[in-house]
Amino acid sequence: MRALLLAVLLAFSTPVLSTPALAVQPDEVLPDPAMEARARELSKELRCLVCQNQSIDDSNAPLARDLRVLVRQRLTAGDDNKGVLDYITARYGDYVLLRPPFKASTYVLWIGPFVVLLLGAAGAALFLRGRKRDIAAGDTAPLTPDERRRLDRLLSEDR
């Protein structure tokens, strides 16, 4: 009976325990649920400048808290979602966006990984092609008589 009770408790508590911990503090939450939902969506699009690969919605860093408060202040001031993102991007640059726009200043972010991948593939292909050519050409030095005797002795021991 204890095992069954433990299994039931574990089954129901696992989804609760495995959900991500959100960093939004109770004093940050807006009274209007619709506006709070907008603030949460915007917070998920903004990068924590301290944590780097975490949204401000998930970060406990003080700067992330300041940005969450700033988002809510801009929303209560009447800004639309684009206006809030434009305001924060104007202050912190495109780096604050988790999905930066595709423009001249961010080409390296978008295209750079593909260029590095292509260069790596080309380098590997050249290396393997050169190695295959060396093997086909038989550029191996012949065995010395001493090496030949040692090899014959080792091969005869395996039989």
How do residues 53-64 score in pLDDT, each as one tens digit?
889 888 888 898
More confident residue, 69 or 109: 69
Supply the CATH number for residue 28's domain. Answer: 1.10.8.640
How do residues 6-46 score in pLDDT, each as one tens digit?
666 666 655 444 444 456 777 677 888 888 899 999 999 99
Which pLDDT does position 159 carry in this prediction?
62
Residue 8 domain-assigned?
Answer: no
Which pLDDT does position 133 carry in this prediction?
78
pTM greater than 0.75 (yes/no): no
Residues 53 and 90 in one domain: yes
Residues 34 and 69 in one domain: yes
Residues 94 and 25 in one domain: yes
45-52 contacts at long range (C-beta below 8 A, 24 or more positions apart): 45/85, 45/97, 45/98, 45/99, 46/71, 46/85, 46/88, 46/96, 46/97, 46/98, 47/95, 47/96, 47/97, 47/98, 49/92, 49/95, 49/96
Residues 115 and 78 in one domain: no
Which pLDDT does position 81 carry in this prediction?
92
Residue 2 domain-assigned?
Answer: no
How far is the C-alpha of 67 from the C-alpha of 46, rounded, in Å?
A: 9
Is residue 36 within 8 Å of 30, Cβ to Cβ? Answer: yes
Residue 117 domain-assigned?
Answer: yes
The domain in which residue 139 lies consists of: 106-158
How do residues 85-141 score in pLDDT, each as one tens digit?
999 999 988 888 888 888 888 888 789 999 999 999 999 999 998 887 777 766 667
- The total number of structural domains in the chain stands at 2
Which pLDDT does position 35 carry in this prediction?
86
Which pLDDT does position 109 carry in this prediction?
79
